[in-house]
């Protein structure tokens, strides 16, 4: 009997636990560890920040989900991991032994890289966590009573840009709806080389559609920008410019969870975990990783450093592959190992319109520099599709479903995306920067 431990209960971790529970016989234990009491659909937090929906609409209690779907639920923060003894330490609890470990912690937020950023001890808001969204909502409601300049953007090293665009454009719509837009100029500040890059270069129409929309809405864009500090009412850039604000929302750079950074050989200097195509660690055969916690190298050299986006869809595909491959390792199923294709679809909601960005795959072929397909399309339908997907995702989380066949079929039929494929041994450098092979 094996105990498979999943650390993290977000868009990657909880679907991974569900997949494992579905694949593994009852004699195997699936343990879910999280420092959060609720599953949160993170993309929905922007709506929460603007007071357009309650936080409860995008959350479900993990204790109840675990009991309903036969998961061993352990609440708490992982503080240490002992690779030789194969156990992890949970704050305030006894150590937990594991046979296989799947790390899907998401990221730690590097607020300390830019002084003055962050909602706790800084001067900017965030939509990265439920608590941040609630703080952003409180600040937004106060801002509406006394509007002024708004600065939205991302810090150098950030790899997640979609929420910043969504925030700026929804702010524009909400202010227009209230007749306050002329009192609140909006500036979008980003380390991206151009508006619409989003950490993925060469997506057809992305640059043109995004820049056109920002111009339509009267939002000033400052690209190739390095935010060096934030004061109580001004954002300072590396070129000396100061951007005054009454409300600011800045996305931070990410790094790995603290316990990953404390374990020699587990992650890189920033705590991101190297992986083989099968999501397995190249040195530790019983450790897998998925989602934001994995190491994926940005292939573009940009004037200001940026990361590579790891969307929720990518995290879910990685987690599904990892769960499948653990089941193969345990001899439960006789099948080829799976690898995620890293083909990504992002529905970005921009008020009354939106843009769908497709990159298949996110990482281009290292030999040709090309993707199978990549494009962006704009339309009001994007808003409705994103809302429908959120409802679908919450339903399947309630039901204890990971990534079902009909979800994969739908994405393939509608958008040509193949999220998983069978693994065949090949050099690793193209996908992960590692030269190892899965045996």
Q: Is 278 helix (H, G, I), strand (E, B) or coil?
A: coil
Q: Alpha-carbon distance 197 to 161, whole Å?
A: 9
Q: Alpha-carbon distance 187 to 199, whole Å?
A: 19
Q: What percent of the chain has pLDDT over 90?
A: 87
At residue 328, what are phi and psi to the nearest 5 degrees? -65, -45
In the prediction, which pLDDT does 432 show?
A: 41
Token output for 40: 């949160």
In the prediction, which pLDDT does 370 show?
A: 87
> So where are the chain's domains?
3-107+256-422, 111-251
Q: Alpha-carbon distance 83 to 156, whole Å?
A: 33
User: Given pLDDT bands bounded at 50, 70 and 90, which one contains residue 52?
Assistant: very high
* Averaged pLDDT for residues 292-308: 93
Q: How far is CA 97 from CA 3, 101, 238, 406, in A?
A: 8, 10, 48, 35
User: Given pLDDT bands bounded at 50, 70 and 90, which one contains residue 426?
Assistant: low
Beta-carbon count within 10 A of 420 CB: 17
So which residues are the catalytic ones? Answer: 160, 346
Which secondary-structure segment (H or E) carries 163? helix 162-177
Residue 368 clears pLDDT 90, i.e. is over it: no
74 within 8 A of 31, measured Cβ to Cβ: yes
Beta-carbon count within 10 A of 439 CB: 7
Q: Residues near 316 by Cβ (< 8 Å), separated by ≥ 6?
A: 11, 12, 15, 402, 403, 419
165-222 pLDDT, tens digit per residue, is 999 999 999 999 999 999 999 999 999 999 999 999 999 999 999 999 999 999 999 9
Q: Alpha-carbon distance 352 to 362, whole Å?
A: 27
Residue 433 clears pLDDT 80, i.e. is over it: no
In the prediction, which pLDDT does 140 show?
A: 98
Q: Which residues pair with 234 in a beta bridge?
A: 231, 244
43 within 8 A of 85, measured Cβ to Cβ: no
Q: Alpha-carbon distance 101 to 98, whole Å?
A: 6
Q: Domain 111-251, what fold?
A: FAD/NAD(P)-binding domain (3.50.50)
Runs of H (alpha helix) within 246-345: 258-261, 312-329
Nearest to 174 by CA among 18, 60, 52, 332: 52
Domains 3-107+256-422 and 111-251 share a fold: yes
State the architecture of 3-107+256-422 in CATH terms.
3-Layer(bba) Sandwich (3.50)
Supply the DSSP symbol for 406: H
Q: Residues near 392 by Cβ (< 8 Å), separated by ≥ 6?
A: none
Distance of CA 53 to the CA centre of its chain: 21
* Averaged pLDDT for residues 88-96: 89
Dihedral class, residue 173 (left if φ above 0, else alpha if ψ from -120 to 50, else beta): alpha
212-271 pLDDT, tens digit per residue, is 999 999 999 999 999 999 999 999 999 999 999 999 999 999 999 999 999 999 999 999
267-279 pLDDT, tens digit per residue, is 999 999 999 999 9
Question: pTM for this structure?
Answer: 0.93
16 within 8 A of 104, measured Cβ to Cβ: yes
Instruction: Work out the angle at residue 127's Cα, subtended by the Cα atoms of residues 154 and 218, and round it to the nearest 5 degrees.
Output: 55
């Amino acid at each position: 009997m094996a105990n498979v431990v999943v650390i993290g209960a977000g868009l990657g971790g909880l679907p991974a636990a569900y997949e494992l529970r579905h694949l593994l016989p009852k004699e195997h234990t699936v343990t879910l560890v999280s420092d959060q009491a609720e599953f949160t659909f993170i993309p929905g937090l922007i709506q929460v920040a603007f007071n357009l929906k309650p936080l409860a609409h995008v959350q479900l209690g993990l204790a109840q989900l675990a009991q309903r779907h036969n998961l061993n639920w352990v609440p708490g923060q992982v503080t240490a991991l002992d690779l030789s003894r194969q156990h992890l330490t949970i704050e305030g609890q006894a150590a937990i032994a594991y046979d296989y470990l799947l790390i899907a912690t998401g990221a730690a937020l590097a607020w300390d890289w830019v002084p003055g950023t962050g909602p706790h001890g800084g001067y900017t808001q965030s939509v990265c966590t439920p608590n941040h969204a609630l703080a952003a909502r409180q600040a937004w409601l106060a801002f509406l009573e006394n509007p002024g300049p708004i600065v939205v953007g991302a810090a150098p090293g950030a790899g997640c840009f979609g929420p910043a665009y969504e925030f700026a454009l929804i702010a524009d719509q909400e202010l227009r709806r209230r007749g306050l837009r002329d009192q609140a100029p909006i500036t979008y500040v980003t380390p991206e080389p151009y508006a619409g890059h989003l950490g993925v270069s060469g997506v057809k129409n992305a640059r043109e559609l995004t820049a056109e929309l920002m111009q339509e809405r009267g939002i000033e864009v400052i690209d190739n920008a390095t935010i060096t500090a934030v004061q109580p009412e001004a954002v300072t850039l590396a070129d000396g410019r100061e951007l005054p604000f009454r409300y600011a929302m800045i996305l931070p750079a990410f790094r790995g969870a603290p316990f990953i950074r404390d374990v020699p050989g587990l992650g890189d200097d920033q705590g991101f975990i190297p992986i083989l195509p099968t999501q397995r660690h190249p040195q530790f055969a019983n450790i897998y990783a998925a989602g934001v916690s994995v190491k994926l190298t940005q292939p573009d050299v940009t004037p200001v450093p940026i990361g590579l986006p790891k969307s929720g869809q990518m995290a879910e595909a990685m987690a599904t592959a990892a769960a499948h491959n653990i089941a193969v390792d345990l001899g439960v199923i006789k099948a080829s190992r799976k690898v995620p294709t890293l083909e990504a679809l992002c529905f970005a909601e921009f008020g009354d319109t939106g843009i769908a960005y497709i990159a298949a795959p996110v990482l281009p072929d290292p030999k040709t520099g090309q993707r199978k397909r990549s494009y962006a399309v704009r339309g009001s339908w994007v808003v409705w599709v994103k809302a429908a997907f959120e409802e679908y995702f919450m339903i399947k989380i309630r039901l204890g479903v990971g990534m079902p066949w009909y979800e994969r079929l739908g994405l393939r039929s509608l958008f040509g995306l193949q999220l998983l494929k069978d693994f065949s041994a090949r050099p690793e450098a193209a996908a992960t920067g590692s030269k190892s092979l899965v045996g």
